Amino acid sequence: MRTLPTVLTAVLAVAPTLASAQPKKAEHAARLRYGEKGDAPRQVAATPCTGCLVELASATPAKHGTEFILVGREVGTFTGLRVGAHKGRVVVRRVTVELADGTRRRFDVDRVIGGKRDVTIHLGAAREIDRIAVTTETQGNGEYEVFGVFAAPPKSSPD
């Protein structure tokens, strides 16, 4: 009868490690806080379809205030962005998009996102994005994610 408690203890000790072994979602951009220096952006592993959403930033706490997301022309071109709540409610104040050609577009959002409400930003023609700055209210425990509406893979450079 002593083997049943021993076996039960062994199973309970191993079970939490098995349940938490989930693959980590891949981001297609790098992220920085204000004042940090960063690495070169990562390339998209597989070319997504035109119009598909590509994750540029996974769950990010809104309490960080302004968060910079490095994308880079190596990822391709985008026709828009979607900022959605991952958890709770988030007040998005503004989204600034710096394009690869050096121009900057500022979108004053001033909206609460959460549940089924999100923010869609239309860039018009397909554009290469260098980086994105998302500014949120710092109160609360909400988290947001940023997705790009994929238009085309990067142009291959002649070697």
- Listed by start position, the domains of the chain span 24-152
pLDDT digits (tens, 9 = 90+) for 98-118: 999 999 999 999 999 998 899
Question: Among 3-12, 80-89, 104-113, 121-130, which is the least confidently predicted range?
Answer: 3-12
3-state secondary structure the chain: CCHHHHHHHHHHHHHHHHHCCCCCCCCCCEEEECCCCCCCCCCCCCCCCCCCEEEEEEEEEHHHCEEEEECCHHHCEEEEEEEEEEECCEEEEEEEEEECCCCEEEEEEEEEEECCEEEEEEEEEEEEEEEEEEEECCCCCCEEEEEEEEEECCCCCCC
Q: What is the pLDDT of residues 144-159, one digit of tens each?
A: 999 999 998 887 655 5
Q: Which two tokens stand for residue 58?
A: 């996974």
CB 44 within 8 A of CB 55: no
- pLDDT tens digits along 58-99: 999 999 999 999 999 888 999 999 999 999 999 999 999 999
134 within 8 A of 67, measured Cβ to Cβ: yes
Residue 8 pLDDT: 46
Half-sphere exposure of 65 (CA within 13 A, CB side): 2
Strand-pairing partners, residue 129, are 99
Q: Return the structure tokens found at 53.
A: 């959403």
Tell which CATH classification among 3.40.50.1100, 2.60.120.1300, 3.40.720.10, 1.10.510.10 matches the domain 24-152: 2.60.120.1300
β-bridge mates for residue 53, sequence order: 149
Q: How far apart are CA 143 and CA 120, in angstroms?
A: 17
